[in-house]
Structure 1
Amino acid sequence: MRGKPSKKILLAAVLSVASTLSAAEQVIETPAFWLESGQNSIKAAARLKANNGFAKNVILFVGDGMGVSTITAARILEGQSRPNNRGGEENSLSFEIAPYVALAKTYSANQQTPDSAPTMSAIITGVKTNDGELSVGMQVARQEKNAEVVNTYKVKTLLEQAEEHGLSTGVVSTARLTHATPAACYAHTSERDWESDAQIPAGAGVKDIARQLLDFGYGNGLEVALGGGRSMFLPNSTPDQEDSDKFGGRKDGLDLTQRWLTQYPKSAYVFNKAGFDAVDPQQTEHLLGLFERSHMEYEHDRLGDKAGEPSLTEMTEKAIDMLSKNKKGYVLMVESGRIDHAHHAGNAYRALTETVALSDAVRKALEKTNPKDTLIVVTADHSHTFTIAGYPQRGNPIMGLVKQPGEAGFAKDSNGLPYATLGYANGPGYRGGNGRPGLSPVDTAHPDFLQEAAVPLGSETHGAEDVPIFAFGPQSHLFHGVQEQSYIYQVMAHALRFKAGR
């Protein structure tokens, strides 16, 4: 159909990148090589045609804390893990081949540098709000206890609209399902930390976030909810299924996992990999998976988990299989939540491997969907103070110390000490005081190594710069230039033919 890119066109763009990579691995990069590479990219771009059709499905991927420097370093790390790679720099993550890219301004209604609550609220409702608040207007004061005030200013999410229009919906995260990013999809509250009733202060009439997931009052409710946060759903008298010496966290006695099973016909609740694998998407209408008491394991540590956990890719695939049964379509939000947590810890290795895992999940979604009817958006809620510095030679290990082209040893700082390529502007990796230590005998590529930080903080902070938006499918061409973060919602709603806020 005229105006709609075919899989062949998208494949041509992919092959253009792939041919550049292949050539980089096999030939000397002469001026002719680079000129030809550029011409191939021009030809691929010229073949792109805007898909002006509307979307049946929308999949939103959010890399929590995935700023530009994180994407760059993850791209190089993934590339350097492949045999015969030129150096890693020329690699591309799965979503970097998107035909349309834009930038989003991430400030919240009251802060230059935001947290995940207002940023995800902007993405999923089209309305910017205050830090710490979920899917309510900025008129609500943080920790407002009056439910009437919160309900007066709550703003409808894309998932709530989707359910009203008869579509299916799902939320997938490697963080707690009650954490800010996934919670913004279904909950309305003045405090992101009110995840269970145990966190809500006396006298507050606002429902806790876990309870709101079950009380999602639109359509058939969420069809898929997969992530961590089991303690927020279980009573404090109930032993945890994976760690029997630990208990749930709820004080009200409610077992929301059992309520899920009684509330929805043909439903399933799972807490481990075996149970997850046994779920038949064709026979299950509602699936709740809670794979950890708190956040799920980092991808690097996942295979060592006692009960076993599915990967982000596996959860994405299962969610698509379940939701795609609805002929009217679906809206799915997938979050790689632990990119953010690793950055806060000053641990670049885990942040980057989480980003690569997100890339794998996006690749699976691209394989399982049709670009003619599925809009796929990949973005971040905010950035971090993560830096790539120095003048390392091409192919220098991204996790290593800086070694400049033509130099036999490592580059030195003003005190004659080597330094790493990756670092943070602040965080727990500060090694100041009487002067920074030498890193020559240190394995900076070790998964547990904390990159150096310039300012000492117990937890590294978010960054305030713009974050990228990558888009495939119907109406993806509307992502262009530098936009307010709330614009992401507008494009998704427009692609689904929803009226904003209705």
Structure 2
Amino acid sequence: MPFGFTQTIRMQCERSNLSCLLDADTAAVTLCKTQLCSSPSVNGSIGMCFGSLSVDTCDGWMGTSSSTAKTVTNGHVELCTSFMLFESVKGMYSAGIVSTLESISVVKATRAIILITFFVVFSAVQEATNSQNLGTENDVITEELNYGYSTTTTPGTTTQQPIVENERSPTYWYNLAKERFERDCQVFPTMKNGKRAKNVILLLGDGMGLPTISAGRFFVAQEIGLNGSIKKHPFEEWPYNTMARTYDLETSVTDSASSATAYLTGTKTRTGMIGLTGDIGVKQCGTWDKAYFAESVLEAAYKVGKATGVLTNTRITHASPSGCYGHVSYRDMESDANLKKFCPNEYKNMKCQDLACQLINDHPYINVMIGGGQKNFYPQNVALPADLSVKGVRLDNRSLVDEWVNYHKSKGHKYCLVSKPSELASCDVSAVDYLLALPYADHMPYNHMISWDEPNLLSYVRKAMKVLDRQANGYFLFIESGRIDHAHHNNEGRRSLDEMKHFDEIIAYIENTVNLDETLVIVTADHSHSFELVGQPGRFQSVLGLDQYYSNNTNDLMPLQGLNYMNGPNGLINEARRNPGILDIFSWTYRQQTLVPLPYSSHGGDDVGVYATGPMSPIFHVTVDNTMIAQAMKFALGAYPFDQKKTPCE
């Protein structure tokens, strides 16, 4: 049984910080059931149709966001109300349809005035609430949900969750990989007789689970005018593919930090940690002995003479890219300001334990560093070159960008620094060996928000490849399309699929640029999302649109969309489902309908796809743990713990 009107209106008042005068014991509530449906009329206004009311005392209807009152002989007042959606050209909507009409008897006539006032307030509050269906053009995820029980601890403390003890050790995952490679060498002649890879490129679609890949085929086809058809993703034609299990040491659904540790180091770790083994606790404070470090593919590749690169459209200190170089007990330790937040008593003695400092101070050899998050590299109160209205956040008064420049000057290196988007074009990468691009204070914008005369992620990829192609001994490059994930966290399906469309362009560019005889290229995701393509949407209609089959069979008589989320910020609390048939479902900021309300949509525990081409790609022919991705890249390069002096299958 739904909440009575008094409870509902109290909830709405509390949301808007209004004082609620109406109390449950002042009214006797009688539910009046009705059936509602809606359809746009020819002139664009909203037409309504109603079934018969099941209670004869609730016989009034007003098609506006107000109420009617009728005084009866016994002095009681009957109110019957509902609320209608009004549509504007830009798709901003007022109050949602209330599917249960309620008759309220009030003893005193003065109560009627109070009730009528509250009906008006309720309508106004509903209008504000309905705007939650749309995000904003500038929505930026700066911090994901706190993951796992161990993240609920107070600063400076930690709680380690139970784990399978033998999985704690990197040796355990190495032995599994070694056994797999030995079997594969007997099965695949191309591996047994093949050479190691000169280059390795890992392309990561953050949050690009199989539902995103499936929906993306239709979205991309429709965007380029191939209605009724599909557009295969470039990697779908590659010779080898499989699935990867994504659980971490603590949870069955991973976060981006522990997954980055797995697919970039070859070792699973605790939820929220980067580049450390499970011997360390989440948010544990201290300076770690390197015995607890899980060495990344990038670090191992450098040790065998490879050039290296990290490229993302998130902050470069965000969870996924920092898996290439970082070793922290919690993913949000992106600057020393964050370090102080989690380790208030220890942080001054934790020298260079934040991710920004680790990148510049401990890994100056990385040839290409491209991403957002400039604020983490400049002192507090210093205006950022990328945006003078934003200041740095560092507490140690260090300008890490200046330190990077001074280091390469002292070594006589040829380098290029890009501090804002407009500077990329003037960077002559044909003459440099080191490129640092931090063109935005925070994450890079979504691709659809970047103007035609500004570089997008593909523009930066082109520059990165020109630097790395000049390196004689080969390279390792990590490329992340990170904002697929951010849009999913916001329940913004169109944005997410558009980010994947741009990711396809990057993958196609890489495939057509590199020599696949000497370059191993892998496409994968770190995790899935609570996102699904459901129902039976027609192939000749937009994948963003309404399902024509199930829309005629829903129990609430409102249409069904094909794209939906299990949880996220568009989940409603004690409210009826909104009618997508009269919402601007094609808006960039439209949030798909969602079952469970959460601040951000969670990840999904589905296995993710792994697609590979080039040397050693036959490894990906059976389902693997995500740790196998890193182990395979190290194996292909002959990097530790594998022996570069031997042929792969020797």
**TM class by shorter-chain length?**
0.7 to 0.9
Which residue in the other structure is 1:24 paired with?
none
Equivalent of 2:304 in 146, 151, 165 = 165
SS at structure 2 position matched to 1:377: strand
Which residue in the other structure is 1:315 paired with?
460
Which residue in the other structure is 2:162 paired with?
none
Q: Whole-Å Cα distance in 2 between the matches of residues 195 and 490 of structure 1?
A: 26
Which residue in the other structure is 2:547 paired with?
402
Which residue in the other structure is 2:30 paired with?
none
Note the C-alpha offset of 1:356.
1.1
Note the C-alpha offset of 1:495.
1.1
Matched, 1:335 2:477: no
Q: 1:216/1:309 Cα in 2 relative to 1: closer, same or farther (>3 Å)?
A: farther
Cα pair 2:247 2:253 within 8 Å, conserved: yes
Which residue in the other structure is 2:383 paired with?
239
Note the C-alpha offset of 1:49.
8.5
Which residue in the other structure is 1:377 paired with?
522
Cα pair 2:301 2:634 within 8 Å, conserved: no
SS at structure 2 position matched to 1:426: strand
Matched, 1:73 2:215: yes
Which residue in the other structure is 1:229 paired with?
373
Note the C-alpha offset of 1:431.
3.7
Q: Whole-Å Cα distance in 1 between the matches of residues 564 and 425 of structure 2?
A: 39
Q: How does 1:71-470 map to 2 (within 5 A)?
A: 71-83=213-225, 85-88=226-229, 90-149=230-289, 151-200=290-339, 201-202=343-344, 203-204=346-347, 205=350, 207-217=353-363, 221-264=365-408, 265-303=413-451, 309-404=454-549, 410-431=551-572, 433-470=574-611
Note the C-alpha offset of 1:50.
4.2
Q: 1:475/1:365 Cα in 2 relative to 1: closer, same or farther (>3 Å)?
A: same
Q: Whole-Å Cα distance in 2 between the matches of residues 215 and 146 of structure 1?
A: 18
Note the C-alpha offset of 1:501.
7.3
SS at structure 1 position matched to 2:243: strand
Q: Whole-Å Cα distance in 2 between the matches of residues 414 and 390 of structure 1?
A: 14
Q: How does 1:7-46 map to 2 (within 5 A)?
A: none
Q: Whole-Å Cα distance in 2 between the matches of residues 378 and 360 of structure 1?
A: 13
Q: Whole-Å Cα distance in 2 between the matches of residues 317 and 411 of structure 1?
A: 48
Cα pair 1:125 1:501 within 8 Å, conserved: no
Q: Whole-Å Cα distance in 2 between the matches of residues 275 and 129 of structure 1?
A: 39
SS at structure 2 position matched to 1:440: helix
Cα pair 1:413 1:419 within 8 Å, conserved: yes
Q: 1:411/1:309 Cα in 2 relative to 1: closer, same or farther (>3 Å)?
A: farther
Note the C-alpha offset of 1:439.
1.5
Note the C-alpha offset of 1:216.
2.7
Letter in 1 for 2:268: K
Cα pair 1:237 1:253 within 8 Å, conserved: no
Residues 49-106 of structure 1: CA distance to partner in whole angstroms, max 9, x if unpaired?
94633210000001111100011111110011123x2524x32012222111011000
Note the C-alpha offset of 1:437.
1.8
SS at structure 2 position matched to 1:213: helix
Cα pair 1:420 1:444 within 8 Å, conserved: no
Note the C-alpha offset of 1:110.
0.6
Range with bigger deviation, 413-422 or 429-438: 429-438
Work out the percentage of aligned pairs sharing the same amino acid. 33
Q: Which runs of 4+ in 1 moved over 4 A?
A: 48-51
Note the C-alpha offset of 1:477.
1.1
SS at structure 1 position matched to 2:431: coil
Letter in 2 for 1:114: T
Q: Whole-Å Cα distance in 1 between the matches of residues 448 and 552 of structure 2?
A: 30
Range with bigger deviation, 270-279 or 289-298: 270-279
Letter in 2 for 1:104: A
Letter in 2 for 1:373: E
Cα pair 1:175 1:227 within 8 Å, conserved: yes
Matched, 1:471 2:648: no
Q: RMSD value over aligned CA atoms?
A: 1.8
Letter in 1 for 2:407: Q
Cα pair 1:155 1:501 within 8 Å, conserved: no
Q: Whole-Å Cα distance in 1 between the matches of residues 531 and 321 of structure 2?
A: 24
SS at structure 1 position matched to 2:254: coil
Note the C-alpha offset of 1:433.
2.4
Note the C-alpha offset of 1:442.
1.3
Q: Whole-Å Cα distance in 2 between the matches of residues 254 and 266 of structure 1?
A: 23
Matched, 1:484 2:625: yes
Which residue in the other structure is 1:5 paired with?
none
SS at structure 2 position matched to 1:60: strand
Which has the higher Rg, Structure 1 or Structure 2? Answer: 2
Note the C-alpha offset of 1:309.
4.8
SS at structure 2 position matched to 1:147: coil
Q: Whole-Å Cα distance in 2 between the matches of residues 443 and 412 of structure 1?
A: 22
Note the C-alpha offset of 1:417.
0.6
Letter in 2 for 1:169: T
Range with bigger deviation, 426-435 or 371-380: 426-435
Q: 1:162/1:437 Cα in 2 relative to 1: closer, same or farther (>3 Å)?
A: same
Residues 152-209 of structure 1: CA distance to partner in whole angstroms, max 9, x if unpaired?
3101111111111111000000000000100010111111111001111231326110
Residues 463-486 of structure 1: CA distance to partner in whole angstroms, max 9, x if unpaired?
111000011111111101211100
Q: Whole-Å Cα distance in 2 between the matches of residues 455 and 314 of structure 1?
A: 38
Letter in 2 for 1:68: L
Where structure 2 has 5 or more consecutive residues not aligned to the other structure, the ranges are 1-187, 644-650
Q: 1:118/1:501 Cα in 2 relative to 1: closer, same or farther (>3 Å)?
A: farther
Which residue in the other structure is 2:202 paired with?
60
Q: Whole-Å Cα distance in 2 between the matches of residues 282 and 429 of structure 1?
A: 47
Larger relative contact order (Cα-Cα within 8 Å, sequence gap ≥ 6): 1
Residues 432-470 of structure 1: CA distance to partner in whole angstroms, max 9, x if unpaired?
624212121212111110001011111110011100001
Residues 220-249 of structure 1: CA distance to partner in whole angstroms, max 9, x if unpaired?
610000010000001113112233222111
Range with bigger deviation, 479-488 or 242-251: 242-251
Cα pair 2:572 2:596 within 8 Å, conserved: no
Q: Whole-Å Cα distance in 1 between the matches of residues 520 and 597 of structure 2?
A: 42
Q: Whole-Å Cα distance in 1 between the matches of residues 441 and 432 of structure 2?
A: 24
Q: 1:385/1:178 Cα in 2 relative to 1: closer, same or farther (>3 Å)?
A: same
Using the size of structure 2 for normalisation, the TM-score is: 0.66
Cα pair 1:123 1:488 within 8 Å, conserved: yes
Which residue in the other structure is 2:32 paired with?
none
Cα pair 2:241 2:621 within 8 Å, conserved: yes
SS at structure 1 position matched to 2:416: strand
Letter in 2 for 1:246: V
Q: Whole-Å Cα distance in 2 between the matches of residues 392 and 411 of structure 1?
A: 12
Q: Whole-Å Cα distance in 1 between the matches of residues 635 and 275 of structure 2?
A: 19
Cα pair 2:227 2:541 within 8 Å, conserved: no
